[in-house]
Structure 1
């Protein structure tokens, strides 16, 4: 059920809460670098996490030649939903089919370069053949609060905390 926001008469006297992201100047700090919307598809097959091992680093994220193991991650494309983005990232980075998705949390922070990061955490059930890019392979790890050695989980609370607060109830 929708409604016409003009009927709400919010346009002239709406007062956002301090720090609320909305139209006009509600943020208490100018975000010069724009908004960075980068979902993380926490991929699970049966009782294993499925991650991508980037032998030379994830392009545009890691220094060239720096190996990293990550869940599918990247920027949203205009017009995508979080779930559609997760499906695209899983296809691009693991080459697997997505059976289901569920947004379980959204991290929001402003970094030291004034980039506003919105990072949805999307629990993504996957299946099928694995077909990662040429410079990568697929790594399986039992689900739980610990990721495999070499895994990167950057700019958020430690993965063990993320697991306990946002993932455990869905995976245990």
Structure 2
């Protein structure tokens, strides 16, 4: 499996969730403004997540810069490291395809957490303390959507063997 394969699968999973959410929204009565707003928030977060997977740092894509920037973000440049336990495996792995596959998966997950999810979890706690109903609503929708997407990505990653079969 290559980094391109992983990118393609993550995007496919996100697209399935986006399609499911869009279909559900299309069945909602137009007068149900709150439900429509919730679906729109979900769709926006799924689309933003797809952009995180699809990040191209260089032309042509999938070159050394594409993977080195992902490596930096996964192992060095983040407030919270979600994949630090895999650093030794990564450093010792000789199969370039496996390393690149892992980097695409890990970078996508890391970016979803650092760009959206972690911040929204903190924001939700503050919203609850201040009893801000609108912020609680929006944060909850975002957290639920991203948690579902990350869960689907993780299920797929584990089904293909994770780092054991990257």
* TMscore range, shorter length: under 0.3
More strand by share: 1
More helix by share: 2
TM-score, with structure 1 as normaliser: 0.27
Higher RCO (CA < 8 A, seq sep 6+): 2
TM-score, with structure 2 as normaliser: 0.27
Structure with the greater alpha carbon radius of gyration: 1
